Homo-oligomer: A and B are copies of this chain.
Amino acid sequence: MSEISINSERLLGRILELGEIGRDDDGRLTRLAASDTEKLGRDKFVSWIEQAGLGVAVDRIGNIFGIWRPAAVSDEAPLMLGSHIDTVINAGIYDGCYGVLSGLEVIETLVAAGFQPSRPIVVAAFTNEEGVRYAPDMMGSLVYAGGLDVDAAHATVGTDGTKLGEELRRIGYDGEHQPGFIRPHAYIELHIEQGPVLEREGIQIGAVENLQGISWQRVTISGDANHAGTTPISMRRDAGHAAALVITFLRERARNSKTPTVATVGCMSFEPNAINVIPSRATFTVDLRDPDEDRLKQEEAALEAYLAQLAKEEDVSFEVERLARFQPVAFDGKIIELIEKAAAGRGHTVRRMTSGAGHDAQMIARIAPSAMIFVPSLGGISHNPREKTQDEDLVAGANMLLDVVKQITGGGV
């Protein structure tokens, strides 16, 4: 078969068109899961699926599927492509949407080329990947993979007091299919990197071989509020100072490590938060990530040991609350190799890499061999209107996806 390529004009046009849906009067793009604006995005995606002549299916958690099921292979387990089309608040236009629209583009391209796949091909848009309105994030794929009961997911109360199940019904996306109704032969997700590595190294394609384990904890350190002027340094039980020591400890540990471990303290609050009062309490979050589960556990243990040491040295007490914990996910080696070959075949530079962010692929990996393809994010910026990937990189990534899909559904994997 001669080389075929995706229709870049159609793909780029749809990314821009979907990116206009859900903008407010100030031009800010927001399509929170199961909201009115997200309904409009869903409707647009469904219209494109139908336009392409594919079947549409929606499951009970609102995941949308565009299904190409040629009669000759209708009994085979489908190859699934996908991502999500919900966004954060004041979002960019690429996160999630790029993968969903590229999946559709690949199928349309193959249909138009008269390609005869060895199995059905499905593009999926999973519900509530961002987790901004309803927690946890990656909910639609989690439910789909059997990791969360759909009724429990329906009962989730959002930041606005709504229930997800009721909102899905209200916007007409409470489908009839049971989550997991299509058990994929394999799953591939194309996504912007959302980090600076590819751009920094001048590499066009990332073959994502694993996804970091994530540990989220909230730490509360308690000391004693006292007068900033009258309390000698030696008598202070300063929760704010203890929190600062934790931040510098985590940074030094990550900096001196030869591993890809990252640690971030993103949230911080002091009490009573008065200029002339020594903080009695500091509450902060710790985000630890590592692609290796043993190392992630070591980092958690090191933090715990340091907190215990601090409690003695600084005469403070502490509490730790676990907010979220995901084990690292290893993606499928064979698909990674196909991605590398596809990159070589088109003359693109490629490197294996770790995903620092969470993605639907980590959930679907529970039920099918999975992998991801990354393209560069300018400045590593994401979850931000300045999120940007160059058009040529977008097209290159979609062609990678096309070539890998051809390999899997033509040659077999």
Contacts and interface: CB of A to CB of B under 8 A. Distances in A.
Nearest to A324: B275
Nearest to A314: B251
Interface stretch (A59-67, A76-84, A220-228): A220-228
Contacts of A138: none
Q: Pick the most buried of A216, A244, A270, A382: most chain B CB atoms within 10 A of its CB.
A: A244
A266 B276 contact: yes
| Chain multiplicity (copies) | 2
Contact of A248 (B248, B263, B268, B274): B248
User: Size class of A's contact patch?
Assistant: 35 or more
A364 interface: no
A196 B231 contact: yes
A111 interface: no
Interface stretch (A21-29, A155-163, A277-285): A277-285
A223 to B, nearest CB: 12
Nearest to A282: B268
A238 to B, nearest CB: 8
Interface string A257-269: 0001011111111
Interface in A14-62: none
A323 to B, nearest CB: 7
Interface of A: 193-197, 200, 212, 214, 216, 225-235, 238, 240-241, 243-245, 247-248, 251, 254-255, 260, 262-270, 273-279, 282, 285, 287, 289, 323, 355-358, 380-384
